[in-house]
Amino acid sequence: MATTDNEVKELIKREYEHGFVTEIESDTFEPGLNEDVIRRLSEIKQEPEFMLEWRLKAYRRWLDMEEPEWAHVDFPKVDYNDISYYSAPKKKEDMPQSLDEVDPELLRTYEKLGIPLHERAKLAGVAVDAVFDSVSVATTFKEPLEKAGVIFCPISEAVHKHPELIKKYLGSVVPAGDNYFAALNSAVFSDGSFVYIPKGVRCPMELSTYFRINAANTGQFERTLIVAEEGSYVSYLEGCTAPMRDENQLHAAVVEIVVLDDAQVKYSTVQNWYPGDEHGKGGIYNFVTKRAACIGKNSKVSWTQVETGSAITWKYPSCVLRGENSVGEFYSVALTHNHQQADTGTKMIHLGKNTRSTIISKGISAGRSSNAYRGLVKFGPAADGARNFTQCDSLLIGDRCGAHTFPYIESKNKSAIVEHEATTSKVSDEQMFLCRQRGIDPEQAVSMIVNGFCKEVFKELPMEFAVEAGKLLEVSLEGSVG
């Protein structure tokens, strides 16, 4: 469009706003991975024997596995011995008991990111677990949650305080040997959040975990486990950012959700890891396994994700619909710009009777980026009356980007019904002309058109995060007009 070269350059120069580095003393492992590293990690966390064994078993599985190459992404091989597997800010005691004990430098970091950890602050009504590099540094609203019987704590704490729940559920949805990155995570995961909602309890507030990678040459391997007992409900949100660094950094997380009879879990993600610069240098490799098991009857899981960050995203939040009448939903906005690559989608595995799933995927590609939707809808032999609806829409901005759709459908049940709709469109010159003729800046016009395209997904996000997601798209699209 008509924006002059200078304007475009100016816009591109505006930088990733979460790209700062916190100057804080850390205990960081030397790069490299072997059994001793895992033992040391487990020792620092004073883990019970069963955890160490679990990790070592996963590590041995990992050694025998091959890195997957089927995704529609292209990047140099990761040297797993070049990564440090643990980095934690130094602190007086092992675990801060209250916010007063948290290093003020860390509190400032989260303030700067717009995630105030002080409970009276603006996110009032949302409990936050803040994970900094490899450890959880603070969890807010512990008391009111405890009163409701809800457990919301760092997973490292849950290993000590609730070993029976950890033993029962950890790895029950994503087994250690599930895939290459899940195995790696199982061996070296350092922290993450644990959520337990007891029978019949509606969690009194939104829960959220905020992940921050700070240290250089460090991988973040967080592990989140959510268990929703019969008839319970929880809405959970995660947010992610990282400093700007020239080197790529690895983030390989695992999220497991267990949903019992009549329970509902709503899981929302706003992923804004550093995407690399406009030449494709640096950025996070985001290789994540997320899966929910709808074990119970009438259980329901909704995944909503807004993915704007990371150099490479490899992520398929999935639902295993085992319980009768269980429901799985996947709402996704994935935006790629500059040299970003995304291969993302979902898997809906229908095993039980009358299970239903909905997939709404919105992919937006700008710059020289590549954006792929990959989805599997599978019906087992017992999935009588199951049905799926899939809608995949791609929006292209400019003519140097790519959008791809890889839908897979497997059915072993004749009564299953699948509907699939897909569209590809462009931000058209006519739309831009109309907006600009009404006095609207080209950048604002693109952002408005893209927001409109994503509306169906944004309406699934909790209110305050929908606003944040809209703004995030705006920032991520800067420099896309030119």
Stretch that binds another protein, among 249-257, 275-283, 328-336, 453-461 (CB under 8 A): 453-461
Residue 437: how many other CB atoms lie within 10 Å: 8
Stretch that binds another protein, among 25-33, 77-85, 329-337, 433-441 (CB under 8 A): 433-441
Which residues sit opposite 178 in a β-bridge?
none
Stretch that binds another protein, among 164-172, 224-232, 338-346, 427-435 (CB under 8 A): 427-435
Looking at the Cβ atoms of 160 and 436, the one nearer to another protein is 436
Stretch that binds another protein, among 311-319, 399-407, 434-442, 474-482 (CB under 8 A): 434-442
Query: SS3 of 440, please?
Result: coil
Query: SS3 of 20, please?
Result: coil
> What's the min distance (Å) between Cβ of 283 and another protein?
29
Please report the beta strands in 308-452, taking only residues with DSSP state E, as ranges in sequence order.
312-315, 318-321, 327-336, 341-350, 356-365, 370-379, 387-396, 402-411, 417-426
Give yes or no for residue 481 binding another protein (CB under 8 A).
no
Give yes or no for residue 64 binding another protein (CB under 8 A).
no
Looking at the Cβ atoms of 155 and 461, the one nearer to another protein is 461
Give yes or no for residue 441 binding another protein (CB under 8 A).
yes
Query: Which of residues 29, 181, 453, 465 is near another protein by CB under 8 A?
Result: 453
From the DSSP assignment, how many helices (H) and strands (E) are in the chain? 12, 23
What is each CA distance from 345 to 145, 273, 405, in whole angstroms?
A: 33, 18, 9
Query: Which of residues 101, 456, 467, 471 is near another protein by CB under 8 A?
Result: 456
Which residues sit opposite 239 in a β-bridge?
210, 270
Cβ-proximal residues to 441 (8 Å cutoff; 6+ apart), any chain: none
What is each CA distance from 219 to 32, 134, 165, 285, 342, in whole angstroms?
A: 11, 8, 27, 9, 19
CA distance 181 to 179: 6
Looking at the Cβ atoms of 124 and 434, the one nearer to another protein is 434
Looking at the Cβ atoms of 76 and 439, the one nearer to another protein is 439
The residue count for binding another protein (CB under 8 A) is 25
Name the strand (E) or helix (H) holding 111. helix 104-112
> What's the min distance (Å) between Cβ of 449 and another protein?
6
Stretch that binds another protein, among 58-66, 152-160, 181-189, 451-459 (CB under 8 A): 451-459
> What's the min distance (Å) between Cβ of 469 and another protein?
14
Give yes or no for residue 46 binding another protein (CB under 8 A).
no
Give yes or no for residue 44 binding another protein (CB under 8 A).
no
- One-letter amino acid identity for 171? G
Give yes or no for residue 1 binding another protein (CB under 8 A).
yes
Give yes or no for residue 435 binding another protein (CB under 8 A).
yes
Closest Cα partner for 374 from 413, 417, 414, 341? 341
Contacts 24+ apart (CB under 8 A), 453-459: 453/362, 453/364, 453/393, 453/395, 453/425, 454/333, 454/362, 454/364, 456/331, 456/360, 456/362, 457/304, 457/306, 457/331, 457/332, 457/333, 457/360, 457/362, 458/306, 458/333
Give yes or no for residue 433 binding another protein (CB under 8 A).
yes
Looking at the Cβ atoms of 37 and 454, the one nearer to another protein is 454
Give yes or no for residue 358 binding another protein (CB under 8 A).
no
Stretch that binds another protein, among 171-179, 219-227, 370-378, 452-460 (CB under 8 A): 452-460
Length of the chain: 482
Give yes or no for residue 454 binding another protein (CB under 8 A).
yes
Kindly state the greatest CA–CA separation across the chain.
68
- One-letter amino acid identity for 239? G
Query: Which of residues 40, 428, 467, 471 is near another protein by CB under 8 A?
Result: 428
In the stretch 375-414, what mask flags binding to another protein with x, by CB under 8 A? ----------------------------------------
Looking at the Cβ atoms of 167 and 436, the one nearer to another protein is 436
Query: Which of residues 32, 204, 431, 475 is near another protein by CB under 8 A?
Result: 431
The pair of three-digit structure tokens given for residue 132, joined into one six-digit string: 């900094």
The pair of three-digit structure tokens given for residue 136, joined into one six-digit string: 């959880």
Could you list the residues that contact another protein (CB under 8 A)?
Answer: 1-2, 428-431, 433-442, 444, 448-449, 451-456
